[in-house]
């Protein structure tokens, strides 16, 4: 199986450790992972802000760059959701320069990282150890977009020495919503305030999720409030081992 | 699309959603009222929906019926006109708000009456009927308890189903005590904020109106094309009074409310109460077919309103919004609505469904900030009994807003320039790599302990309550190039 990492422009730029963690986990499981350097962005920001021609051209690039791989793995539920739900629409309605067949070929081969582990590789125990109190926030695109359900939690439950506690109100949005947090910063901030209060009340050391964008938002709020709760992509928890754990 | 005539729907002079929301968020009483109300109703709806084994099948059926009816809307409307006429009703067609208001005003004038009672109706809010009637010297009395609170308070509705959701019982007591006397029977002098006492005060106030009114105006939840039957569902019985006691009944109905047969209606009568109030069945379901000698109104008029609906139908994506049955489940689960309340939307249709319906009915330039009033979290789609994919519609309408801006302006907006620049950078790995390096240097220069604090300009709002991480020294692609590329 030829596996490519789509790290996403956001992780590439801000959270390179998440990309390395995905490599660590997949290589530990015996897979070779390629990183096609021509990759950039899935186009989600442009699509969700209304800039469809720009999104279409990024979608065309994505389909070209990742053609030929059996599986494209990405540590972002929202970017995986963009490919799955947005690309067919872009191919249909903004056809110029977007090869519909190429899009149709690539869409089913793009996998969110946790779904790739559980559904494609059939693994829940990835050999990780993480001796900390952890809460999991199912981001909206994990929960209601990709319907990841229990998959991320099944992976976390298999981590050695983890103290996994429940986050109350976990299914509510943190208020990020991409450009929403800029255009409607105060409304977003009101949602964030409720989310950070719930996170802090759990007494957890680490908040994890399958998307760094929501984690950057919640983490940005926690940091401003002077909270000690750390935010980590769950790939980084799955990558941690006896030696590597902090 | 040509600019629509004034269709109402939006409240003229309203601020943009971000501005209105900013003001609303400062109202701590409002936020407390909304949080309490939406939390309660969410739990009730969830229980009522999940107790049915065939809930998902019902949603699928409802979605299919609505979409099929919309595809053949013209046929069902003509059929409805025939069946209503055959049953003794008179059907009128109104292209827009102004025409509907004129028709209703003329019909009331023909009766010689200057007062009418009203059943709670969204469509008459949409066209601004009460205000129009007042200008024509006709007073319309709202008889739904929450609409009465809104009317007495000289206020605007903030929720489709619970228009006074922004008020708590103390505020309601004060409104009743101060205003009831100006509209009719005053509130008792010793009125407290006990819900039973408030309901009794409203009952006494309204009783006189029900018994004396000669004309009633209603909306409709459904109309069955097959038999010409109109349907109103409600909780309080005020609707039943208005629909049966007066001599003349005038019903204004959006053209999308038609369903083909009673078998189709059955699906919605299960979905609507459970989605709306979390009840298995609503207390009152009134159905009427034309007129019946010696029973109920002797004159029945049905006004079929377009007001932007056929334009909406022409958009194969946007038309999904016409499937809405006005249950408000999407409002109640929406995290944005919970914080801002309904007034911030500047429209009679607030919340997620309002954000997709308002720009389509009123014209996208009249509600250009509404499609952006959402995080696309998807809670609305999961709750919708007719499976309207509201997040997908929002994204679709955002594209419409951007296209409209591009067509109207000679110079691009700052946002458009930023988006174009981002697309150029992201269109080239070399440019992206260079931008990452520049961003890393720049952001680390202004960061403290890897975190950036308050920022000016468009990021002022964001950075008011959030730190932003500085870009790390090395991007992933840069790390890969150094550590992995050479291995291969």
Domain boundary, last residue among B287, B309, B331: B309
Residue A234 shares a structural domain with residue A155: yes
Cβ B461–A185 below 8 Å, yes or no? yes
Given a contact cutoff of 8 angstroms between Cβ atoms, the answer to whether A20 and B476 are in contact is yes
Domain boundary, last residue among A72, A98, A120: A120
Residue B34, in any domain of the structure: yes
Residue A226 shares a structural domain with residue A139: yes
The tally of domains found in chain B comes to 2
Residue B105 shares a structural domain with residue B232: yes
Given a contact cutoff of 8 angstroms between Cβ atoms, the answer to whether A40 and B432 are in contact is yes
Which residues, other chains included, contact A28 with Cβ-Cβ below 8 Å and sequence gap of 6+?
A126, A127
What is the rounded distance in angstroms from the CA atom of residue B225 to the CA atom of residue B145? 31
pTM: 0.95
Given a contact cutoff of 8 angstroms between Cβ atoms, the answer to whether A16 and B476 are in contact is yes
What 3-state DSSP class applies to B163? coil
Residue A84, in any domain of the structure: yes
Domain boundary, last residue among B284, B309, B334: B309
Residue A246, in any domain of the structure: no
Where residue B341 falls (left for φ over 0; alpha for ψ -120 to 50; beta otherwise) is: left
Residue A169 shares a structural domain with residue A82: no
Residue A112 shares a structural domain with residue A152: no
Mean pLDDT of chain B: 95
What is the rounded distance in angstroms from the CA atom of residue B115 to the CA atom of residue B120? 16
- Write down the H helix ranges in B51-72: 55-71
**Nearest chain A CA: its distance from B382 CA (Å):** 8
Cβ A175–B375 below 8 Å, yes or no? yes
Given a contact cutoff of 8 angstroms between Cβ atoms, the answer to whether B162 and B256 are in contact is no
**Nearest chain A CA: its distance from B223 CA (Å):** 34
What is the predicted ipTM?
A: 0.96
Residue B333, in any domain of the structure: no
Cβ A216–B17 below 8 Å, yes or no? no
The tally of domains found in chain A comes to 2
Domain boundary, last residue among A120, A143, A162: A120
What is the rounded distance in angstroms from the CA atom of residue B219 to the CA atom of residue B122? 7
Q: State mean pLDDT over A129-141.
A: 97
**Nearest chain B CA: its distance from A120 CA (Å):** 25
Q: State mean pLDDT over A128-138.
A: 98
Residue A142 shares a structural domain with residue A67: no
pLDDT at B369: 97
Residue B300 shares a structural domain with residue B440: no
Q: What is the CATH number of the domain that holds A112?
A: 3.40.50
Cβ B375–A180 below 8 Å, yes or no? yes
pLDDT at A31: 97
Q: Which residues on chain A are in Cβ contact (under 8 Å) with B420? A: 54
Tens-place pLDDT, residues B47-96: 999 999 999 999 999 999 999 999 999 999 999 999 999 999 999 999 99
pLDDT at B411: 86
Residue A139 shares a structural domain with residue A106: no
Residue A95's pLDDT band, with cuts at 50, 70 and 90, is low
Sole residue written with tokens 């992976």 = A155
Given a contact cutoff of 8 angstroms between Cβ atoms, the answer to whether A156 and A124 are in contact is no
Residue B474, in any domain of the structure: yes
Q: State mean pLDDT over A182-201.
A: 97
The shares of helix, strand and coil residues in chain B, as percent rounded to the nearest 5, are 55, 10, 30
Range of the domain at A149: 133-239
Residue A60 shares a structural domain with residue A108: yes
Residue A114 shares a structural domain with residue A20: yes
Tens-place pLDDT, residues B292-320: 999 999 999 999 999 999 999 999 999 99
Residue A113, in any domain of the structure: yes
What is the rounded distance in angstroms from the CA atom of residue B332 to the CA atom of residue B309? 25
Residue A114, in any domain of the structure: yes
What is the rounded distance in angstroms from the CA atom of residue A13 to the CA atom of residue A24? 19
What is the rounded distance in angstroms from the CA atom of residue B488 to the CA atom of residue B484? 7
Residue A114 shares a structural domain with residue A146: no
Q: Could you say which DSSP state residue B230 is in?
A: E
Residue A125, in any domain of the structure: no
Q: What is the DSSP string of B349-361?
A: S-HHHHHHHHHHH
A186 touches chain B (CB under 8 A): yes
Whether residue B203 is predicted with pLDDT greater than 90 in this model: the reply is yes
Residue B350, in any domain of the structure: no
Interface size between A and B, measured as CB pairs under 8 A: 183
Residue B453's pLDDT band, with cuts at 50, 70 and 90, is very high
Closest residue in B to A186 (Cα–Cα): B22
Tens-place pLDDT, residues A141-153: 999 999 999 999 9
Residue A78 shares a structural domain with residue A166: no
Residue B467, in any domain of the structure: yes
Tens-place pLDDT, residues B216-239: 999 999 999 999 999 999 999 999
Residue A126, in any domain of the structure: no
pLDDT at A97: 66
Domain boundary, last residue among B292, B309, B326: B309
Closest residue in B to A142 (Cα–Cα): B377
Token pair for A8: 């996403």
Tens-place pLDDT, residues A210-227: 999 999 999 999 999 999
Whether residue B1 is predicted with pLDDT greater than 50 in this model: the reply is no
Q: Which residues on chain B are in Cβ contact (under 8 Å) with A9? A: 426, 432
Residue A200, in any domain of the structure: yes
Candidates A180, A118, A128; CA nearest to A152 is A118
Q: Which residues on chain B are in Cβ contact (under 8 Å) with A16? A: 472, 474-476, 479
Residue among B374, B439, B458 minimizing CB distance to A180: B374
Q: What is the CATH number of the domain that holds B152?
A: 3.40.50.10420
Residue A234 shares a structural domain with residue A139: yes
**Nearest chain A CA: its distance from B438 CA (Å):** 11
Range of the domain at B469: 427-487
pLDDT at B2: 47
Residue B337, in any domain of the structure: no
Q: Which helix (H) or strand (E) holds A89?
A: helix A87-93
Residue B74, in any domain of the structure: yes
Q: State mean pLDDT over B459-478.
A: 96
pLDDT at B5: 61
Residue B122, in any domain of the structure: yes
Cβ B373–A144 below 8 Å, yes or no? no
Cβ B377–A7 below 8 Å, yes or no? no
pLDDT at B13: 83
Which of B17, B350, B359, B377 should we substitute to test contact with A (largest number of A Cβ atoms within 10 Å)? B377
Domain boundary, last residue among A120, A152, A177: A120
A51 touches chain B (CB under 8 A): yes
Residue A116 shares a structural domain with residue A208: no
Which of A4, A15, A43, A50 should we substitute to test contact with B (largest number of B Cβ atoms within 10 Å)? A50
pLDDT at B12: 81
């Amino acid at each position: 199986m030829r596996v490519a990492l789509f790290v996403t422009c956001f992780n590439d730029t801000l959270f390179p450790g998440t990309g390395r963690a995905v490599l660590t986990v997949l290589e530990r499981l015996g897979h070779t992972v390629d990183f096609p350097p021509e990759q950039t962005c899935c186009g989600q920001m442009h699509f969700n802000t209304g800039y469809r021609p720009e999104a279409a051209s990024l979608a065309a690039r994505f389909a070209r760059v990742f053609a030929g791989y059996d599986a494209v793995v990405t540590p972002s539920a929202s970017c995986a959701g963009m490919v799955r739900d947005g690309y067919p629409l872009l191919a249909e309605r903004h056809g110029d320069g977007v090869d519909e067949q190429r899009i149709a070929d690539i869409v089913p081969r793009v996998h969110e990282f946790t779904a790739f582990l559980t559904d494609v590789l059939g693994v829940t125990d990835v050999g990780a150890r993480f001796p900390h109190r952890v809460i999991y926030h199912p981001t909206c695109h994990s929960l209601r977009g990709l319907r990841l359900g229990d998959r991320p939690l099944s992976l976390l439950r298999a981590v050695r020495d983890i103290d996994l506690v429940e986050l109350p109100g976990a299914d509510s949005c943190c208020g990020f919503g991409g450009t929403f947090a800029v255009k409607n910063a105060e409304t977003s901030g009101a949602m964030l305030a409720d989310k950070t209060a719930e996170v802090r009340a759990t007494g957890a050391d680490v908040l994890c999720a399958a998307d760094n964008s929501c984690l950057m938002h919640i983490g940005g709020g926690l940091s401003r409030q002077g909270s000690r709760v750390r935010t980590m992509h769950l790939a980084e928890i799955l990558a941690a081992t006896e030696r590597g754990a902090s | 699309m040509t600019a629509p005539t004034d269709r109402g729907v939006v409240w003229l002079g309203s601020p943009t959603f971000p501005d209105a929301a900013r003001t609303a968020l400062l109202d701590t009483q409002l936020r407390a009222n909304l949080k309490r109300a939406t939390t309660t109703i969410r739990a009730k709806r969830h229980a009522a929906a999940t107790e049915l084994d065939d809930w998902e099948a019902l949603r699928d059926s409802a979605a299919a019926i609505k979409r099929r009816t919309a595809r053949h809307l013209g046929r069902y409307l003509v059929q409805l006109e025939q069946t209503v006429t055959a049953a003794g009703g008179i059907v009128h067609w109104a292209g827009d708000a102004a025409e509907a208001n004129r028709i209703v005003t003329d019909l009331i004038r023909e009766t010689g009456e200057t007062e009418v009672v009203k059943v709670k109706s969204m469509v008459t809010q949409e066209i601004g009927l009460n205000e129009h009637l007042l200008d024509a010297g006709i007073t319309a009395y709202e008889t739904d308890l929450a609409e009465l609170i809104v009317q007495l308070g000289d206020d605007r509705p903030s929720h489709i189903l619970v228009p006074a959701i922004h008020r708590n019982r103390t505020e309601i007591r004060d409104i009743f005590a101060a205003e009831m006397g100006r509209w009719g029977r005053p509130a008792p002098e010793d009125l407290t904020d006990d819900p039973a006492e408030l309901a009794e005060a409203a009952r006494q106030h309204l009783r006189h109106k029900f018994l004396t009114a000669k004309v009633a105006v209603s909306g409709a939840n459904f109309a069955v094309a097959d038999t010409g039957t109109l349907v109103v569902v409600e909780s309080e019985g005020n609707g039943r009074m208005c629909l049966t006691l007066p001599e003349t009944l005038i019903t204004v109905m959006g053209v999308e409310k038609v369903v083909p047969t009673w078998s189709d209606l059955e699906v919605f009568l299960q979905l609507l109460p459970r989605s709306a109030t979390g009840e298995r069945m609503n207390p009152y379901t009134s159905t009427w077919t034309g007129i019946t000698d010696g029973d109920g109104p002797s004159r029945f008029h049905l006004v079929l309103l377009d007001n932007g609906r056929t334009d909406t139908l022409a958009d194969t994506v946007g038309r999904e919004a016409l499937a809405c049955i006005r249950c408000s489940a999407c409002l109640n689960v929406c995290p944005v609505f919970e914080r801002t309340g309904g007034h911030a939307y500047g429209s009679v249709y607030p919340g997620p469904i309002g954000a997709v319906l308002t720009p389509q009915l009123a014209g996208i330039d009249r509600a250009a900030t509404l499609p952006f009033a959402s995080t696309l979290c998807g809670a609305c789609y999961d709750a919708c009994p007719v499976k309207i994919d509201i997040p997908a519609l929002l994204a679709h309408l955002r594209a419409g807003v951007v296209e409209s801006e591009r067509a109207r302006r000679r110079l691009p907006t700052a946002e458009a320039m930023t988006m174009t620049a981002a697309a150029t950078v992201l269109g080239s790995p070399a440019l992206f790599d260079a931008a990452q390096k520049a961003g890393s240097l720049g952001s680390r220069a202004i960061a403290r302990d890897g975190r950036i604090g308050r920022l000016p300009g468009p990021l002022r709002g964001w950075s008011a309550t959030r730190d932003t991480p500085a870009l790390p020294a090395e991007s992933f692609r840069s790390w890969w190039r150094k550590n992995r590329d050479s291995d291969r």
